[in-house]
Amino acid sequence: MTDRKCNGIFFSHASEDKEKVVEPLIECLESGGISNIWYDKNEIEEEHSIIRKINEGLSTSKIGIIVITPNFIGKHFTNWELECLLYLMIYNKIRLIPLMKNINREQIIEKYPLMNPLLFKEILDECDEKLIQHINKYLQKGNSLINQPNNEIIIDEYNPKKSNNYSIDNTKLISNELNPLISDIDKETLAKIYNEIQKNSTIIKEINITKIQTFSSKRRIWVHKESWDIIKYLLFSENEEDLKNGLYVLGEMVKLAKSEKVFYVLRNVEELFLFKLIDFSDPINRNRISHDALNVLEIILDSNIFFNIFISVLIKSMEDITNTEEYTHFIQFFFRKIETHKSKYNISLIIDRLEKLIEKTSKDYTKLRAKDFAKIIIQDYEHLRLC
């Protein structure tokens, strides 16, 4: 077989599901005109290195389809593939479509909490036209966002003198009473800041970081591509101060955009940085980075999706933070968030997850933390569960 480049879809699946689930699904997709599929049975021969061929498939695909079944969850190799796909997703290299068969969403999220914001689709026994349309849409969007990540950001159509609307993809208009106290910013200023923060001079960089931080809370920086370039540069840096500064700028920008009801900005942030933010929210990061990332997620996500991520981070902090003082500081942040998002459903959900943690964990300090936290939640919010 001749090696070929694939710019389409990578299939991650358990080998036990090939005959009854995966191959009928691939036939269905191909019948709908989707042919650019990387499938191991067609790509890997005996003389090939399996790992090298899989890496080739992952690196040249724009979409990852994960066929999640009980077989998938139970295998080491499929979990390795999923970790690779999640890593690529965090760095905006690939978009993921999780499909499920003989398993429900709750079981999947409990195993893979990072996947909670994704839209899951069930694999039907018959060929599903809606699924073909769904995958086609993601394939087009995946190529677009990965190759030109700012393509949804409208930088020319906004003109406060002509209109009180922001245009979104030329398909929707969001009405917005513009705040006269919030001014716009010129492209040249942002371009200069972007150039200066990439220089080696610490003083020049700090001055320009301070400028963009100030602008992000007072001006509509989202109307220019250069602002998004600045944020991406900071968030994908290996320097911890850059990460903190990038999260600050992003946080101020989304707060301002939400206050002005410019919701396409929140959507763009979700598309470009969602899984990077989830990665930052991991409690192994320093408190400020984790807290700032969760604050941005709280603004851009639906409340229920955010709360599920929030609980996963809480559980992980109980398991992974060994320093008692650091853990205490972390937990104070969580109590404030629970008060903001308290509801009968959320309180029941968090108590259920804590009870499962108490039952499953082998760590004494984790068990004790979960018991103490559950006791306080039940004491403070039992009225919500009973109403």
Domain ranges of the chain: 9-147, 165-386
List, in sequence order, every residue forming a beta bridge with 38; answer none if it has no partner: 10
Angle between helices 202-218 and 225-235 (to 10 degrees): 120
The rounded percent of the chain whose pLDDT value lies above 90 is 36
- Asked if residues 197 and 235 have their Cβ atoms less than 8 Å apart, the reply is no
Dist CA 162 CA 273 (whole Å): 31
Per-residue pLDDT tens over the stretch 318-337: 999 988 888 888 888 888 88
Other C-beta atoms lying within 10 Å of the C-beta of residue 136 = 15
Mean pLDDT within 31-49: 83
Helix/strand/coil for 362: coil
Q: What pTM does this model have?
A: 0.72
- Asked if residues 60 and 6 have their Cβ atoms less than 8 Å apart, the reply is yes
pLDDT at site 162: 37
pLDDT at site 180: 54
- 382/29: higher pLDDT: 29
Dist CA 149 CA 225 (whole Å): 10
Most confident of 43-57, 102-116, 160-174, 230-244: 230-244
b/e code 72-86 from CB counts within 10 Å (16+ = b) = bbeeeebeebbebbb
Token pair recorded at residue 279? 């990665």
Dist CA 34 CA 139 (whole Å): 9
Half-sphere exposure of 328 (CA within 13 A, CB side): 3
Per-residue pLDDT tens over the stretch 346-360: 888 899 999 999 999
Indicate the CATH number of 165-386 among 1.25.10, 3.30.420, 1.10.1760, 1.50.10. 1.25.10
Token pair recorded at residue 88? 């690529």
Q: What is the 3-state secondary structure (H, E, C) of 188-221?
A: HHHHHHHHHHCCCCHHHHHHHHHHHHHHHHHECH
- Alpha-carbon dihedral angle through residues 219, 220, 223, 229, given to the nearest 10 degrees: 60
Q: Which residues contact 340 (CB under 8 A, 6 or more apart)?
A: none
Confidence label for 159 from pLDDT (cuts 50, 70 and 90): very low
Per-residue pLDDT tens over the stretch 234-292: 999 989 999 999 999 999 999 999 998 888 889 889 888 988 998 899 888 777 899 99
**Superfamily of structural domain 9-147:** Toll/interleukin-1 receptor homology (TIR) domain (3.40.50.10140)
The amino acid present at 54, given as its one-letter code, is I
Q: Position of tokens 């705040």?
A: 179
- 218/180: higher pLDDT: 218
185 Cα distance to chain centroid: 28
Dist CA 109 CA 264 (whole Å): 27
pLDDT at site 284: 80
- Asked if residues 280 and 293 have their Cβ atoms less than 8 Å apart, the reply is yes
Dist CA 306 CA 186 (whole Å): 34
pLDDT at site 161: 40
